Structure formats: structure tokens, C-alpha cells
Structure 1
Amino acid sequence: MEEGGAAAAAAVEDAKRRCEALTDQLQHIPRSKLSPSSKTTLCRLINSELTFLHRLSAASDLTSSPISLNIGHLEAVVHVLRQPSVNAVSRVCKPIEFSKSSSIYVDVVCSLNGNPVWFIVSGRNPKCISWNGGSSEKGKGLRKKIQQVVNAARQSPVTLRPSSIVLFFSNGLGDDVYQKLRCEFEAVDVELEPLCYQELELEEEWTHVVLGRLFPDACAVRIQVGKDGVELEKDIHENRIDGPVSCNKYYEHSNFDLGVSLCSLVAGMKCWCCCSSDDKVELEIGLMNQSWRDVEAKLVNFDTTAMVAIVSGISNGRTEKLLATSESQLRDRFKGNYDFVIAQVDSENQNPIHSELCGLISGKRGIICESVRLEFQELIKMCGGPNEKLRAGFFLKFLKVVPDCPSTRLMSLPTTRKLALKNKVVFGTGDYWCAPTVTANMAFVRAVSQTGMSLSITEHRPRALIGD
């Protein structure tokens, strides 16, 4: 085989290995981040590329025409999906249709630091990226493409409208084009995690396999789409988060056995009384300007299912007592919910929920909306035992109750049986404050995802009140 053909054959084999590594890498992205339909789309695209590569391998002459590979673009898309700040991915590598004759291609629709965004990904050589397009490109330069995406975003239905568009150039961008982006579109840099190669030790002769690709020259910029600063300032001051929540309330319960795990959970959260005026100003300015200073790390929104799970006796050391009780007594106590409760007991013994939540909400300040407060207190009053009521009062002291202020995009969804108004208010309030909602209500989350909207959530396993 000629030297050119040998090099092409080696490139094809390398691309095959990259496809297989990418397929394996997809399996490590949690379901809570990437919807099943999005994962299916990516797997289909990778398999299509692999099929194309196998056909190339069978060709007798690999030098007869240039080899065009899409694996680099797919690797860049997965690199975006692996970002810790990216979640609630609702669409990948698909056009968004606005009408029968109007659509725009978007690589990733997701939440970034709690804000809805569209990612446009490019794996091209920066030398091949021109601003206005060359004579052979018929005006198909980067500027025209970006303008089309920005226009589509601003004219899209409010349920799908992103606050920003993020452009990710995995192989970097020429300085002249970068400066034009900043000047004409007021693009600002976005810091993404560099992410390293990962290696897995496999059995027997197999030693290591690469699960990721480095992008040392990558460039990511953001273009604002959503509300301007004046509108956001008006909104933020209508529903301010201020006023202290006293940590001294912790000591009012010091004579009671609240349980080590609950106290550890609360200890890991930031308390509102420790929120300095400077912190509050930074938080409000960050939200007003849709700043990318890790807004998501500041707040976490709890729905009623999360509140119940945190104070439930099942989550607070009562599983052994329940299992020591006869089945007949438990069936008499829980009626038709017996199997449901026992399943939760088994789940708690295998994976304690407080330990799971600690890692998800540590370092954040908790909020609940007024609707959740009222519903939770009513549930505790009717179904909670004395210890559960005590834990509920204790935990509430460390949360800020905010007015029901659901985001416009959540409220713009049609109210249906699966998209109930009360859930739109709860999740919409978290969305308004760019705070992920901790929830076990995955039916609502799936219904939202089916509309194409990205919604920042943190899933937990359900727990019931047991009258403890």
C-alpha cells in the first residue's frame, strides 16, 4: 500500500477506536443529566459514523478522495455534556422547529449553571473558520450562521428561548474572528472544565482504554439572548431574597435527638444568617446580569417531596425498628402503602438518602417557595409523627421562604394533568432563581423534557412520612 494509503488507513482505524471509546463514555453520563432520547440520538450518530468507517476500511483505495470524519464534532459534543456545570440536557444534535418551514440546528439544549442555554459546537480547524465566508462559500461565514441562531433564539417560543447561546470551538479560534465575535455580538468568555483523559484498567491482556479527549486549545464564548439588565433588575427587586434566617435556632433543638445524619446535612449547607451583605449583593448582581460566576452553586430549591424525604423517619434511623415490627402490624398501619414503604426501607438501608443529598447540596443555601411551605406544613400536621414534626421545624429554620415567582418560560407551558399548575409554580420558582430543584417528582420532569425545555433538577429517591 502506498504511503498515503497507509496513513489514511491508520486514520480510519484510529477513528474507529475513538467511536468505540465515545460510546463507552456515553454510558458514564448519568441519566439525571442526559435524557434517554438524547443519549439514543448520540448513539445513533456514533454508530452511523462507525458504519461509514467500516465501509472505508473495505475500500480498495483510501486515497481516491479526501476522508471526511464527524467523530471530532461528536467528541466535542460529549465534552460539553461531561461538563459539571451542564445539566438538564433535553436535546442533542437536532434542529429546533418553529414552524413547518422554519428550524435551526442546535448541538445541545441544556442548563448551564442553572440558566437555559443553546450550545453550538464546532470541531473545525480554526484556519478554516472565516468571518464572512470566502468566495467559494457563498457568504456562509461564521457571522451569518451566528446571526441566524441568535435571531431564532430571540424569536423562539418563551418555553424554548435560551438566556444565552454558547459557542464552543473545540480546536480553538483565530484571534481576528474571536475579536469580531466580541465586538459585533458582545460575546464574553465562558470557563469550561478542561477535563482530562480517563483510563480504566481492564481484565487480563487489556490494559487501558481512553475515555475522553483533551481540548487544550478550546475556546468557549457566550452571547446574551434573554432579558436585559433593566428588566432583570426590576424582577429581582420585586422578589428579593434578604432578611436573616437565624442559626441560633439550631441550639433551640440541642436537647433533642435530631440524628447525626440530619445534623450533618444541615451543617454542610450555607446558612442564611451567615450571608454577608457583600454575598447578597454579589448574588443579586449575578442574577441580574445572568453572570456566569457559578450562580447555581449559591442556591438550591426544595420541592415538597424533598422536604418530606429529609425529615422522614425512614431517612432518620427508624428502618431497623420498622423491620422488627410484624408484617401484620405494618400492613394494618400503612394499609395499601405497605409495599411502597418497605421498598423505601430497603432503599434507605442500601443508600442512605442524607449521605446522597449531602454531596448535592453542600455549600448551597436552601430556598422553598410559599406554596411548598404551606403544603409541607399541612402534610406534617396530618401525617407526621412527633419526631418528624420536630425535624420539620428544625430544617425549616435553615431555609429561606421566597414568594411564588415562577419563571415565565415554565408558566408558558400548557397546564395539563402531567404539567399541573402547582408543579409549574414550584419548579418555576427554582428556575426563576437559577436554582436546581431537588425532587422525586420525575413524572413532571419527564413531561417538561418532552416539550424540549431544559430544566435544572436534582433527583432524589422518594421517602414517606411514617408517623415516627
Structure 2
Amino acid sequence: MAERQPTDALGEDNSALLDQYIDCAKKFIDLSKKLGHIKGANKLQRMCKSELKYLQSLRKIPTQLCGNHLKSSNLSHFAGCLHTAYNAPGVVQILCPFSMDGRTENLVVDVVANQGHTWVKVIARKAQALHLIWAGRGQFGERDLVRQARDYLRCAVHHPVNFQKPKIHFAFYNQVTIPMAACLEKLGVSVSGDRIPVDEGTANQINMACLSSDEDSEDETCPDKNISGNDDSDVNQDDFSLHTESERRFKGDRFSSEPSADLNCDITSSTSSLSKNDPLFSDLDLLGSLISCLPRFDCLSHCTKGNDSKKVNLDITTLITLVSSVTHDGCHFEFSEKILAQQAAEEREEPVLPKLKKFLQGKTMLVCKTALEDFQSILDTLGGQKEKERAKELLSQVTVVNDDPSERTVEMPYSLKIKERSKVIFGTGDKLQAVTVTANSSFVRAAQHQGVAYAVYLHPSRALTEEKEKSAVPLVSSE
């Protein structure tokens, strides 16, 4: 028996459309695979595979397939995430969770760009629907984007990158109303995507809500008589003379429709039209049904990328690397110890000091007392004569500071990779707003899992090897 073809309630055959959705999901899986070098890309790939599985299951449902089955698809949001990941500058993570006070669940940022300095939220819902939710006409439990923006801004304060809070950017893939975009920019959120007026149908729904509330209280007035957003007057956010939630939000959050010059992407170039020639979404006839525009991210390239601190905090691992014999032409030995042999081979292939010294050049070098004492103890036990001489010269160029870890470091719980010594060293640099230079990547990762991201410069690890050279086998020069 032939397989039953899905049709909607009006008898229209939706099987061809379903095939397009399935092909689109497969394309998105392939695109997410190519982002495998970015953290979180595998999570996006799994979500696309789950969506594909759902769509394929629709072929087997005994009941008729209506358009609502396909409208519930997440492909439009995935399209936005992929487009952002491929086009935003300096993308380092996708679907990244961040802890936030007052929330039991993490806040998930769709794309982290600019080497961590910009959080991008992808919005694929229709502009008029978003505007209705903002005006308090959404379904129960739906949170409008302005409230979500405030969550992002509050969360960013607790997750600084190089001692600066990340910038927040909202990318709209199905347009945004002019007053909503202006309100977001007033809060400090940059916006890209086609900007459109509030349409007549949306305005009528909001006005009807105002009339309904007027029946209950003749003293209350409509929150915005010119709901289309063409009024350029600026409403004071503290002026809350209205009582209902929707009216309060509209009176308090509606601002001038004029863009904020310091935050806004250039409206004339903030989007590109959908085109079959788009290299990312080529051969996707369904694309126009999922998203209406492709936001551009030109403005993100101008975002500040940290405070360019001139202070550096040297970890024990860095002090050892700077004086080690293996980094001073002592890599031409075959050591019996496996770890030393590996480090020597790596050093022959790519020396550590050139890049490390270039980073340190012109910066004030700080060392906390714990790092200094432990380094001196290791040097006295394992160091050779020349290594000790280099250490003496190095320490004459550094500034010793008291142990004084930051509050967030002190509060971080101990674990197998989060020990007291590391907390003191990294925490002191954190409080002094100095970039910690280290080879201790395991502590950095463990701290990130606890929601603490330190400003660090990572380099390969090196050990003290001068004394070990006595039992090592010199390598014969190939020259």
C-alpha cells in the first residue's frame, strides 16, 4: 500500500513542503559540522539532528499534517544561529551557558563573538508578534525582549572579559519594530535587522486592550496614542503613571524611534536581502519562509576588545618558563623523562619565549608573594646554576605584591583542579585587574566551569631542565 501523503485540514498536500524542511535540517547539520572548531557547535548540531528526527516523524503520523506542525519547527532560529556564527567577527562559542544570580537555570547566549567581548542573541520571531508581547498582549508566561535584554545586561556584569563586561547585541532575522529597536538601544543593546513601523493590525490590538482597561477604570489612558512609533518624543523611563503591566511597560520603555548613534548598526547597511546566491544558504528554497532578512555585523568589529591592561600577573609556571634551560637553547637533548623529552621536542618545533616576551614587552610585571615563595622553593630544589642566574635577573624586574585574591575567587569552591595556591595567584591578578600569564590551563578551565572567567595569557608549559641535561643524550646536529 502506498504511504499516505500528509495534507492539511483543507486537503492541501504538504508533503513537498515537509521535504523542504527535511532538506533544510540536513543542510543545517552539515553547516554546524563545519563549525566543529568552535565550542558549542556540537550542541547546535545535536539540536539540528533532533529537529530532523522530529520532521521525519511527521511523515509517519496517521493524522493529517497541517501547517502548524511545520510552523512549530525551530529551523528559523537555527538558521539565525548558523548565519551569526559564520558572519560575526571572532566567534569563540555557540549556545554558551552563563550563570546568573536570581535564576535557577543558566542564561544561554546564542553566539559569543569578538573573542568573548560580545554576546549575540538571535531572534527569529516575527516583529509584530514580538511587539505584541512587549505590549503585554502575549500568551501567559511569555517574557518580552526588553525584559530579556535586562537579564543579559545584568548577567554580563558578572562575566567580564579582560575586566570589561561583554556588549549585548540582538540580531533580528524576521525584522523588529522601530520603537522596540529604539528601546533596546536606549538600554544599551545594539541592534541589527530590518526596522519596520508597527502595522495597523498590531496597533489595533493594543488599542483594543487599552479600551478594555478603560472600561474598568476611566482614569487610565492608552499607554501610547501613536502606537506606530512615529512620535519622536522621548518618554522618561521613570514616569510610571499607569497601573496595568502592559501600560506600565509601554509608558516606561517606549522611547524615541530615532536610533542611538553610539550603539546602532548603520540602518542602511544592517541587513542584506535573502538571495539564492548567498554562499551559506545556497539552494535553500525554504529560506524565505524561515527568515526575512540577514542581519549584518559590521558594527561589532568596532566593539572595544578589552582594556588592554599594561599590568601582567606572572604565575609560577611562567616564572619557570622564563628561566628554564630548555627555553634557552637547551632543547637539543633527548631526556629520559617522558614529559621533559616532549617539552624539548615542542620547543625545537616552536620556541615559547619569542611570543611570550613579545606579550610581556612594555608591561608592568607583578608577582604575588605566594607565587614568588613557591617559585623560589622549586628553583632552589631543581634549578641549575644558569637558571638561578636568569631567575635573579628576572626577579629584579618584577614588582612583588601582597596576596589579595578577588571576592569572586575567594567564593569559588575547591575541587581537584581548583586549589588554594592557584586561587591566591589568579585571584590576586584578578583583583589588580592584571592579565595573569600562565601555563596552568586546567585551572582556567575549571574556573570557567564554576562561572569565573579570568583574564589570562596562556602559553605552553616548560620545566627546569639544566640539572637533567647531565644525564640526557645530546642530539646530533643535522647540519
TM-score exceeds 0.5: yes
Amino acid at match of 1:369: V
| Contact residue 366 and residue 400 of structure 2 kept, 8 A | yes
**Correspondence 1:87-106 to 2 at 5 A:** 92=95, 96=99, 102-103=104-105, 105-106=107-108
Instruction: Give the greater-gyration-radius structure (CA).
Output: 2
CA distance in 2, matches of 1:340, 1:75: 45
Amino acid at match of 2:137: S
Distance of aligned partners of 1:384 and 1:104 in 2 relative to their CA distance in 1, 3 Å threshold: closer
Distance of aligned partners of 1:443 and 1:104 in 2 relative to their CA distance in 1, 3 Å threshold: closer
CA distance in 2, matches of 1:135, 1:358: 59
Please state if 1:303 is matched with 2:315: yes
| Contact residue 112 and residue 119 of structure 2 kept, 8 A | yes
| Contact residue 24 and residue 211 of structure 1 kept, 8 A | no
Amino acid at match of 2:134: N
Structure 2 gaps, min length 5: 6-11, 191-261, 270-278, 288-292, 468-479
Alignment size in residue pairs: 354
Which of 28, 40, 49 is residue 37 of structure 2 equivalent to?
28
CA distance in 2, matches of 1:408, 1:307: 25
After superposition, give the CA deviation of every residue in 1:99-126 in whole Å (9 maximum; x if it has no partner).
8x943542269797777x8764434454
Please state if 1:73 is matched with 2:77: yes
**Correspondence 1:203-218 to 2 at 5 A:** 216-218=295-297
For 1:314, what is the secondary structure of its paired residue? coil
CA distance in 1, matches of 2:401, 2:86: 31
Distance of aligned partners of 1:447 and 1:151 in 2 relative to their CA distance in 1, 3 Å threshold: closer
Deviation, 1:411, is: 1.7
**Root mean square deviation, CA, Å:** 4.9
CA distance in 2, matches of 1:446, 1:434: 19
| Contact residue 19 and residue 71 of structure 1 kept, 8 A | no
CA distance in 2, matches of 1:69, 1:178: 26
Which of 239, 263, 270 is residue 189 of structure 1 equivalent to?
263
After superposition, give the CA deviation of every residue in 1:41-91 in whole Å (9 maximum; x if it has no partner).
44432332332344457789876434344345346556469967666x6x9
After superposition, give the CA deviation of every residue in 1:219-258 in whole Å (9 maximum; x if it has no partner).
989xxxxxxxxxxxxxxxxxxxxxxxxxxxxxxxxxxxxx
Deviation, 1:150, is: 5.6
CA distance in 2, matches of 1:153, 1:294: 14
For 2:109, what is the secondary structure of its paired residue? strand
| Contact residue 96 and residue 108 of structure 2 kept, 8 A | yes
**Correspondence 1:43-58 to 2 at 5 A:** 43-55=45-57
Deviation, 1:210, is: 5.2
Distance of aligned partners of 1:93 and 1:370 in 2 relative to their CA distance in 1, 3 Å threshold: closer
Please state if 1:13 is matched with 2:15: no
For 1:166, what is the secondary structure of its paired residue? strand
Deviation, 1:418, is: 3.4
Distance of aligned partners of 1:95 and 1:376 in 2 relative to their CA distance in 1, 3 Å threshold: closer
Counterpart for residue 369 of structure 1: 367
CA distance in 2, matches of 1:426, 1:308: 15
Structure 1 gaps, min length 5: 195-208, 222-290, 324-329, 332-337
Deviation, 1:423, is: 0.9
CA distance in 2, matches of 1:75, 1:297: 37
Q: Tell which deviates more after alignment, 1-10 or 162-171.
A: 1-10
After superposition, give the CA deviation of every residue in 1:357-396 in whole Å (9 maximum; x if it has no partner).
578x388836433233443344344433343344445555
Deviation, 1:94, is: 5.1
Deviation, 1:463, is: 1.0
Amino acid at match of 1:142: L
Amino acid at match of 2:146: R
Please state if 1:129 is matched with 2:130: yes
CA distance in 2, matches of 1:401, 1:215: 52
**Correspondence 1:423-434 to 2 at 5 A:** 423-432=422-431
For 1:465, what is the secondary structure of its paired residue? coil
| Contact residue 159 and residue 165 of structure 2 kept, 8 A | no
Which of 166, 169, 178 is residue 168 of structure 2 equivalent to?
166
How much identity, in percent, do the aligned residues show? 23
Distance of aligned partners of 1:349 and 1:157 in 2 relative to their CA distance in 1, 3 Å threshold: closer
Return the structure number with greater relative CO, CA threshold 8 A, min gap 6. Answer: 1
